[in-house]
Amino acid sequence: MILGIALTVMTLAAIAIVVLPMIRVNRTAATRAAHEIEIYRDQLDEVERDVARSVISPEEAEAARTEISRRMLAANDGAVTATTIGSTGKPRRITAIVTGLCVPALAIYVYVTHGSPDLPGKPAAEVRAAGGSAPQSPTGDTKQRQEVARLAAALEKNPSDLESWLSLGNVLTRMKRHRQAAVAYRQLMRLAPANAEFASRAGEALALAANGQITPDAQAAFAEALRRDPTEPRAQYYQGVADQQGGRLRAALDRWVALEAASPPDAPWLKFLRPRIARLAGEIGMDSNALAALRDRAPPLAAGPGPTREQMEAAQNMSAADRQAMIRNMVDGLAEKLKDNPDDLAGWLRLGGARGVLGDHAAAKEAYAKAAALRPDDVEIQVSYADAIVKAAEPAPPPQAELEPVLNRILARDPDQPRGLWMSGALALSAGDTKTARKRWTRLLEFLDPNGVQYVQLKKQIDGLKDR
C-alpha cells in the first residue's frame, strides 16, 4: 500500500515536470530576436542610402553589409529557437493533456510487463536481442547547428572567404532555413560578381522560403544569374516556373524545352524536367507529335560559361588594380569575338553584364541593345536592356524616347513584370503623368511583401502622389 502511494506521488511529480513547461508562455526571447532582425534590416537600408549619397565608399559599404548579414543570421537563429521553445496555443495545450494521460498509462504498462517482482529475470543479452540499442549520438540537426556556428566564426575572421559562405548557404539549405541561406548566397553574389550559380542559388533559396512562389526578389536574382550566364540551368528552370505561375504557359514550355535541348544527357535535373514538360504540354493541349516537333526545332541555349571557381579564387588574391586589369582583358577579348559573331545572344548578354560590373554603363547599354534586338519577345532580356538605359543616364532621368518603347514591349508581354511596372511608373512620373505612375505602382504593390521595406517605401510614394 505504502509503495503504491509512493509510486503515485512520484508519477504525478514526473507529469508536472513534463507538462507544466508546455503550458507556460515565454515569448520574450523571440520578440527580442525579431526586433533585432528588424533593426539589422533598417541598417542594411541605411547602408544603401549612404552609398547613394556618397557618404561611405563601396568598400566600406561591403564590409558593413557583411557584418550586418552575419548578425542577422545569429539573431534569426535565436528567433527560431525561442519561438520553438516558447510557442503556445491550443495545439500546445492538447499536447500537455495527451502527455499527462499517456505518461501514467505507459508507466503502468512498463511496470506490469517488465517491472513486476513476480516476473522472471531477463539477461542483458536477451534485452539486446529483443531490440535494445546503445545511446544515440548527437542528432543531425545538432551537428548542423554546430557547423553553422563554426562557419559564422570563420567568416567573422575572413568575411571574403567564398568557400565558407558557400558552405554556410548549403548547410542552411539542408536545415530548410532558406531565408538565411539566401543571405549567404547574396553575399557570394557580391563577392563574385561574374558567377551566375551564386545568383541562381540565392533566387532558389528565396523561392523555397516562399513555399515555391517566385517572388519579385527571387525573380530579380534569377534575372541577374541569366545576365551573368544565359545558360545557367537553375535560373532557366525557375524562370520557367515564374512564367507558369504567371499564366504564361507557352513561354514556360518554350524555356524548358530549350533547357532540355541544352542539357547533357546525364544532367540530374532532366529526371524532373521532362515530366513537367509533358504535363505542361498537356495543359496547353499539345499532343505528343506537336511536342516532338517543338523539341526538334528548339534552339539550344548558347554556350559560354563565365570564369571558373579556380579563376575567381586566384583573382581574390590579386591586388585591386591587377584584378581590374584581368577582368578588362577578358571583357575586351569577348567584345572582339562578338565582332565576328554578332548573332551570339549569350555573348552580348555576358558582355553587357561585364561592362556593367566595370562601371562602363554606356557600353553595357549598347551590348544589351544588341541582345534585345536579337530576342525582342524575351521579357528578361528587355528588362536588362531597360535597366541598362536607366543606369547609363544616371544621375539624369533616362530619355523617354529610348526607354518607353522597351517598357511597352515588356508590359505588353507580361503586364505584371515587377521591374517593368516600377520603371514605367518612374518614367511617367518624370514626365509629369502622375495618374499613370500611380496606376503602375499600385499594381506593383500587389506583388510585394506587405511587411517588407520595399512595400512601405512604395506605399509612401503612392500616397504622396495623391496630393499632386
CATH number at residue 402: 1.25.40.10
Cα(169)–Cα(187) distance, rounded to whole angstroms?
10
DSSP 378-433: -HHHHHHHHHHHHHHHTTSPPPHHHHHHHHHHHHHH-TT-HHHHHHHHHHHHHTT-
Domain that holds residue 329: 315-465
Residues 59-87 as b or e (16 or more Cβ within 10 Å = b): eebbebbbebbbbbbbbbbbbeebeeebe
- Does 31 have pLDDT greater than 60? no
Residue 367 or residue 74, greater confidence: 367
Label residue 387 exposed, middle or buried (CB < 10 Å: 0-12, 13-18, 19+). buried
- Does 266 have pLDDT greater than 70? yes
Do residues 182 and 205 lie in contact, with contact meaning Cβ atoms separated by under 8 Å? yes
Residue 163 lies in a domain: no
- Does 30 have pLDDT greater than 60? no
Residue 382 lies in a domain: yes
Half-sphere exposure of 135 (CA within 13 A, CB side): 2
- Does 404 have pLDDT greater than 90? yes
Residue 448 lies in a domain: yes
Q: What is the DSSP letter of 300?
A: P
Q: What cell was used for 359? A: 562601371
Start-to-end CA distance of the chain, whole Å, equals 87
Q: Given this model, what pLDDT does residue 1 score?
A: 52
Q: Given this model, what pLDDT does residue 352 score?
A: 83
Do residues 23 and 96 lie in contact, with contact meaning Cβ atoms separated by under 8 Å? yes
What size, in residues, is the chain?
A: 468
Q: Express each pLDDT in 336-358 by its tens digit.
A: 888 888 888 878 887 887 787 77
Residue 451 lies in a domain: yes
Q: Where are the beta strands (DSSP E) in 157-264?
A: none
Do residues 221 and 200 lie in contact, with contact meaning Cβ atoms separated by under 8 Å? yes
Q: Express each pLDDT in 276-318 by its tens digit.
A: 999 999 888 888 888 888 888 765 554 343 444 455 555 556 6
What residue has cell string 531597360?
386
Cα(298)–Cα(261) distance, rounded to whole angstroms?
7
Average pLDDT of the chain?
Answer: 75
Q: Give φ, ψ of 305 to 5 degrees.
A: -70, 160
Do residues 388 and 356 lie in contact, with contact meaning Cβ atoms separated by under 8 Å? yes
Residue 151 lies in a domain: no
Residue 457 lies in a domain: yes
Rounded (10°) CA dihedral 61, 67, 73, 77:
-150
Q: Express each pLDDT in 192-248 by its tens digit.
A: 888 889 999 999 999 998 888 888 888 888 988 888 888 889 999 998 898 888 888
462: number of Cβ within 10 Å: 19
Residue type, 39: I
This prediction's pTM: 0.44
What residue has cell string 567573422?
156
Q: Given this model, what pLDDT does residue 455 score?
A: 80
Residue 277 or residue 105, greater confidence: 277
Nearest to 269 by CA among 227, 224, 238, 307: 238
Cα(152)–Cα(175) distance, rounded to whole angstroms?
15
> What's the total number of domains in the chain?
1
Least confident range from 147-156, 327-336, 360-369, 396-405: namely 327-336
Cα(169)–Cα(177) distance, rounded to whole angstroms?
9
Residue 399 lies in a domain: yes
Residue 97 lies in a domain: no
Query: What is the separation of C-alpha 149 from the centre of its chain, rounded to a whole number of angstroms?
Result: 21
